[in-house]
A and B are shown apart, each in its own frame.
Chain A
């Protein structure tokens, strides 16, 4: 994804100050927490905000990037409004997680790790959601969905699309399986 950060609105950096001040005296031990806050606030880790945090906290910006790039939770690019986390853990794997992931990526027209052009969804496969007993599983934002089939997973996304009133709610069902009623 290459989404330019130079949007018309400049990024509001004022919340960064609180992220640092709340942890005074800010030490290296606070870096992960603070970055988690930043990601919650902006949805990703904007470059300008990282610079600002480095300036205010005195932690070198290289340190911040070192941490941000190490952990899979952090994104340096804007992510979609809804995070679709599809489990690829062992229990889900043996019960068909690959099929769920491919159905979702076909439905949204994006690959694992990418974001839809309208910024509505990001797909992210994760190692385990601790819901292995209902495999295969996905977590959309903070709602878990278990015992999935491809149909159920896609229907869930369609419900969210309908709720959000997204223009492409039913658009581009790229090579999607038909679900027309049985002809007589």
Chain B
């Protein structure tokens, strides 16, 4: 520095030098967050490789902070091309140097995977496209440990501007005008806060930066400090200038060692450069900063507790007023802002308060940094304007929910916040809107929860956290959180009492009202918000001992068997299959599910959706293994070993020989009761027989299961419709089970299935079964997106039709099984999405076309699904000769039975016992649930059999599962492995017959697949 230059001139010279030496060719590696996946090793590999290639001088190798797409750690940026590589290992580095740095080509395997292939350029990646990075501008670009790097990118320019061109009041006015609100949670206007501190009497004032990011699941502050500590220091300097503080503290969590290190380096360098200390930039301002490392206490995020901690005391809060602005650290006026708030300050001065205030919503201005974590595909650090919707964050930026699962809620605001359910996916996020739906913005932690997350468990988790972190000073918080935790633990353990939910709610309001500080006042929020949006999950835990997400280990042995409505002991039979003990494996299945062959083929396998292995690579092919077992063990099958020899002589009538009725009959026999099934059709099986085409479920396989059930002594009457329940009771039956299914098609406006050429999907499938479809179908349009629609389409194809499926929503929303949709497409069926049929065009009684309008996704409904709405002037026609309407099924309820119906036209039952409104009459399956799955029906039949046994004075309890494979299978491994796909029949010829399409797994493949089971059930017994 020449003696002639003023400090400001010197700074400007150094800035120019830094810019001039700024390299064009650069490799930037995130070496903060990405360290957890080996970023430092990758950096070392680059160092060696660049040296070996003689590139050390030409390529700048920069260790940066967070680059945002953290799910792809370690993240490497290559400039000037703007290429981004994700997940590289040290072994990949030579190839990157060779191919990209020397060869100018892209290593595709390391690129971000877009919907249509790899996206090498950062700017093309949707994760970034929807963001607006103002505060994070330098984060991930600069080397945070070199002040030159920050200066070259503009750091401290706004400090210079503020000190030279603005007086403190002007700075406060600008911040007020920008509309900046505290980013730490409460959202208090920052300009006003500064105004109070400035106005407070006294010449010693303190400025504190709160970097105690205590919300578990939030990492914005960590990322900002590690990636651009100078932004925080510059913000502090400007704030200190505005309020007149000479001493500053940064209170950082001890769990953030890299943040502490980077901040320490930044402070030291800023001092060396005259940016901290006395007479800053020669302009007479004095300000210095000290770091205080927290010592692990969540309550220290609360202002007054934080101050107590800086004073070296126990971090206990005290009542306010006096507010810290009047009496804070050591009784002096103190201004506290969080990291992100302060990092916003230079950005506001840079872009001007007005432009800044132009972003966001009426009450919340500017941008917000979100820490996207949990069950979202692309976790990471995101900065978006206030008012961004959850849908944009989760689906646009975040790439959707991991593993294609369903979104359940977003947890916002940590232990003080709440869960925002799917129905609010389109809510513009700002301080007020989030509060209205029962959560808080908090510091911006956004944890995405999917269908495999239990909301009661989440409430229990947060209460456990708050009870542990309660500082104990006030009784409502100390005792209230403990009591609430006890209740939640009880519910999760399956010991919940019916009155627990009300008790919990009452306690929650008390704790909220009477606690001393923010921790206690907000501790009940997670409970209240889950009660508000997910009350039915609490009820299921208490009344049904059911955790729909298969999380609460106290309620279950393993997630898969808990998810199975029939409760099949999945891990046991998988292990038996792995040990070639197939007959025993089949017996284990048949202990809970008599339709094993059927479920091996057409089950919607809820077990696989909850399989823990699915979080590692792929869920177990549980259904395929079941099929393999049933196809391997020679029939006829005998009932499993603990079959009761008891005969009670009590008679039960089962109406309907579908899966619910068959299952109920089988389990009634288990209890020793006498059963007669009345079936109105000429053959048993219900929908399995007349709804599911033979190419998916061959008749012989169905017959095998039915014969097995009948072999236990069930009497079956075919062509025997029941008109009157009284007649059954008169005939000596003591209880009745209804499993009549939902065999009627739901109507669709504008489509008259009585007209010639227009068919009803359910009836069509029944006619196909009995060979009653007459005449050629020609070009056929099938309306609907469910399994019936796809079954009808593929059946029509096999009868020689040329088929188009018309669905009013998008492909992703089709309720049909994905593998069925894929197969349909593969067989040559055309799919038309976002089209709503409005009528049929006919020419003298002959169908010529289906009239449709185009749809587009509109506002979300309660489940978060966007309701399709018609686009104006979008009418079009699909030429066709036949129309099949398959938009849903309903129950053909019989008034003569005198049973109460639900508003949906199904039979009303109580969920625990499945008893209808009439004494001794039970019901289950589709006629209770509406169109549902086979295994649900089987589960219902089983449950109703238990209820009927209880009615007869029995226990209603089935014998325990067999547990034949007590030993842990030794060969299991967490090594990533893909699951085998069962072979399919060749396409040629496949569509000309109703022969089965999917084949059985080979025994090697089945055995190997079964070995991937993690045996979560033993995990639990071992604990």
CB–CB B36/A180 < 8 A: no
Are A90 and B216 in contact (CB-based, < 8 A)?
yes
Assess whether A132 is in contact with B379, with CB atoms less than 8 Å apart. yes
Tell me which of A134, A139, A145 contacts B379 (CB under 8 A): A134
Closest CB of chain B to A171's CB: distance in Å? 18
Kindly list chain A residues whose C-beta atoms are within 8 Å of the C-beta of B445: 90, 132
Q: Which residues of A contact B1008 (CB under 8 A)?
A: 182
Instruction: Please tell me which stretch of A2-10, A147-155, A159-167 contacts chain B, meaning at least 4 of its Cβ atoms lie within 8 angstroms of it.
Output: A147-155
Complex: A182 Cα to B578 Cα, angstroms: 11
Docked CA distance A35–B296 (Å): 13
Report the minimal beta-carbon distance from A51 to chain B, rounded to whole angstroms.
Answer: 18
Q: Is the CB of B33 within 8 A of A133?
A: yes
Docked CA distance A78–B375 (Å): 38
Task: Among B36, B296, B616, B1011, point to the contact of A72 (Cβ < 8 A).
Answer: B296
Interface flag for B164 (CB, 8 Å): no
CB within 8 Å of B: which of A118-154? 126-135, 137, 139, 142-147, 149-152
Contact of B313 with A67 in the complex, beta carbons under 8 Å:
yes
Q: Is the CB of A28 within 8 A of B70?
A: no
CA of A143 to CA of B41 in the docked complex: distance in angstroms? 12
Beta-carbon contact of B217 and A89 below 8 Å:
yes
List chain B residues, Cβ under 8 A from A72.
Answer: 295-297
- In the complex, the answer to whether B293 meets A36 with C-beta atoms within 8 Å is yes
Q: Does B216 lie within 8 Å of A32, measured CB to CB? A: no
User: Which residue of the partner chain B has the closest CB to A88?
Assistant: B216
B315 and A70 form a contact (CB under 8 A): yes
Residue numbers in B under 8 Å from A142 (CB-CB): 257
Distance in Å: Cβ of B936 to nearest Cβ of chain A: 26
Determine if B375 and A71 form an interchain contact, defined as CB atoms under 8 angstroms apart: no
A158 within 8 A of B: no
* Interface assignment of A11: CB less than 8 Å from any CB of chain B: no
The answer to whether B255 touches A128, judged by C-beta atoms less than 8 angstroms apart, is: yes
Complex interface bits, A99-131 against B, C-beta within 8 A gives 1, otherwise 0: 100100010000000000000000000111111
Say how far A98's CB is from chain B's closest CB, in angstroms.
Answer: 9
Residues of A contacting B310 in the complex (Cβ-Cβ under 8 angstroms): 29
Residues of B within 8 A of A95 (CB): 374-375, 615
Q: Looking at the complex, which of B476-484, B514-522, B790-798, B967-975 is the stretch in contact with chain A?
A: B967-975
Q: Are B36 and A144 in contact (CB under 8 A)?
A: yes
Contacts of B207-265 to chain A: CB distance below 8 A: 213-219, 222-223, 253-257, 259
Contact status A91-B216, CB under 8 Å: yes
A176 CA / B319 CA spacing, docked (Å) = 50
Interface size bucket, B side?
Answer: 35 or more
Q: How far is the CB of B455 from chain A (nearest CB, A)?
A: 11
Is the C-beta of A31 less than 8 angstroms from some C-beta in chain B? Answer: yes
Question: Given A29-B312, A71-B297, A132-B217, does the pair A147, B968 have CB atoms closer than 8 Å?
Answer: no
Q: Are B37 and A146 touching (Cβ within 8 A)? A: yes
B994 interfacial by beta-carbon distance below 8 Å: no
A68's nearest neighbour on chain B, judged by CB, is B295
In the bound complex, residues from chain A placing their C-beta under 8 Å from that of B214 are 127-128
Complex interface: chain A residues within 8 A of B71 (CB): 133-134
B380 within 8 A of A: yes
- Residues of chain A within 8 A of B469, CB atoms compared: 127
- Residues of chain A contacted by B447 (CB below 8 angstroms): 90-91, 94, 132
Asked if residues B295 and A134 are in contact (CB atoms below 8 Å), the reply is: no
The yes or no answer to B373 lying at the interface (CB within 8 A) is yes
Q: In the bound complex, do residue A134 and residue B968 qualify as a contact, i.e. CB atoms below 8 Å apart?
A: no
- Chain B residues within an 8 Å CB radius of A133: 33, 70-71, 73, 219, 371-373, 379-381
Given contacts A36-B293, A67-B314, contact A130 B372 (CB under 8 A): no
Task: Determine whether the beta carbon of B37 is less than 8 Å from that of A28.
Answer: no
Contact residues in B for A88 (Cβ distance below 8 Å): 216
Q: Are A175 and B1022 neighbours in the complex by a CB distance under 8 Å?
A: yes
How many angstroms from the CA of A87 to the CA of B253 in the assembled complex? 14
| Chain A residues, CB < 8 A from B315 | 70-71
Within 8 A of A (CB), among B971-1020: 971-974, 1008, 1011, 1019
Question: How many angstroms from the CA of A92 to the CA of B379 in the assembled complex?
Answer: 12
| Residues of the B chain whose Cβ atoms lie less than 8 Å from the Cβ of A25 | none
**Contact status B374-A180, CB under 8 Å:** no
Q: How far, in Å, is A129 (CB) from chain B's closest CB?
A: 6
Does B108 lie at the interface of the complex (its beta carbon under 8 Å from any beta carbon of A)? no
Instruction: Give the most central of A32, A87, A99, A143: most B CB within 10 Å.
Output: A32
Contact A29 B311 (CB under 8 A): yes
Minimum CB–CB distance for A53 against chain B, Å: 12
B316: chain A residues within 8 A (beta carbon) = 70
Whether B313 pairs with A28 at a CB distance below 8 angstroms is yes
CA distance A29 to B309 in the complex (A): 8
Q: How many A-B residue pairs have CB under 8 A?
A: 182
Give bound CA distance, A152 to B973, whole Å.
12
- Chain A residues with CB under 8 A of B974: 149-152
Within 8 A of B (CB), among A10-50: 27-33, 35-36
In Å, the complex CA distance between A133 and B458 comes to: 18
B411 CB within 8 Å of chain A: yes
Which residues of A72-97 are within 8 A (CB) of B? Answer: 72-74, 85, 87-96
For A102, the chain B residues whose CB sits under 8 A away are: 1019, 1023
When chains A and B are docked, how far (Å) is the Cα of A70 from the Cα of B315? 8
| CB 8 Å contact bits of B35-51 with A (1 = contact, 0 = none) | 11100000000000000
Given the known interface contacts A28-B312, A137-B36, the answer about A36 and B218 at a Cβ–Cβ threshold of 8 Å is no
Contact assessment for B375 and A94 in the assembled complex, using a CB-CB cutoff below 8 Å: yes
Q: Is the CB of B973 within 8 A of A130?
A: no
Residue pair A91, B33 in contact (C-beta under 8 Å): no
With A128-B217, A130-B256, A132-B371 already in contact, the answer to whether A181 and B295 are too (CB < 8 A) is: no
Do B36 and A146 have beta carbons less than 8 Å apart? yes
Q: A135-B373, A179-B973 are in contact. Are A128 and B37 (CB under 8 A)?
A: no
Tell me if B637 counts as interface (CB < 8 A to partner A).
no
B residues near A70, Cβ cutoff 8 Å: 297, 314-316, 471
CB pair B216–A134 under 8 Å, yes or no, is no
Contact status B312-A31, CB under 8 Å:
yes
Closest B residue, CB atoms, query A154: B974
- Most-contacted residue by chain B among A30, A127, A146, A152 (CB, 10 A): A127
Report the bound CA distance from A178 to B612 in whole Å.
Answer: 18
- Please indicate which of the listed interface residues A35, A145, A177 has the most CB atoms of chain B within 10 Å of its own CB: A177
Residue of B nearest to A151 (CB): B974
**Cβ-defined partner of B972 (8 Å) among A29, A134, A178:** A178
B216 and A128 contact, CB distance less than 8 A: yes
Return the chain B residue nearest A105 by Cβ: B1023
Instruction: Please tell me if the beta carbons of A134 and B33 are within 8 angstroms of each other in the complex.
Output: yes
Whether B665 is near chain A, meaning CB under 8 Å from some CB there, is: no
Interface pair A66/B314, CB less than 8 Å apart: yes
B36 proximity list for chain A (CB < 8 A): 131, 134, 137, 144-147
B971 touches A91 (CB 8 A): no
* B729 on the A face (CB < 8 A): no
**CA A45 – CA B412 in complex, angstroms?**
37
Determine the chain B residues whose CB is within 8 A of the CB of A149 once the complex forms.
616, 974
Q: Is the CB of B213 within 8 A of A130?
A: yes
- Does chain A have a CB within 8 A of B453? yes
As a 0/1 sequence over residues 293 to 336 of chain B, the CB contacts with chain A under 8 angstroms (1 = contact) are: 11111100000000001111111100000000000001000000
- The residues of B that contact A181 with a CB separation of less than 8 Å are 971
If the complex has contacts A67-B314, A91-B447, A151-B974, are A178 and B968 also in contact, measured as CB distance less than 8 A? yes
Closest residue to A137 on the B side, CB-wise?
Answer: B36
Name the CB-closest residue of B to A28: B312
Contact of A73 among B296, B298, B380, B1011 (CB under 8 A): B296
Smallest distance from the beta carbon of A24 to chain B beta carbons, Å?
A: 15
A-B contact pairs, 7 of them (CB 8 A): A29-B312, A36-B254, A72-B295, A85-B255, A127-B465, A133-B219, A150-B974
List the 9 closest A-B pairs by CB distance, nearest first: A89-B216, A146-B36, A133-B70, A71-B295, A144-B36, A128-B216, A90-B217, A31-B312, A72-B296
Given contacts A95-B375, A128-B217, 19 further A-B contacts (CB under 8 A): A29-B312, A35-B295, A66-B314, A72-B297, A88-B216, A89-B216, A90-B373, A90-B462, A95-B615, A102-B1023, A127-B298, A127-B465, A130-B253, A133-B381, A139-B255, A177-B972, A178-B968, A179-B973, A183-B971
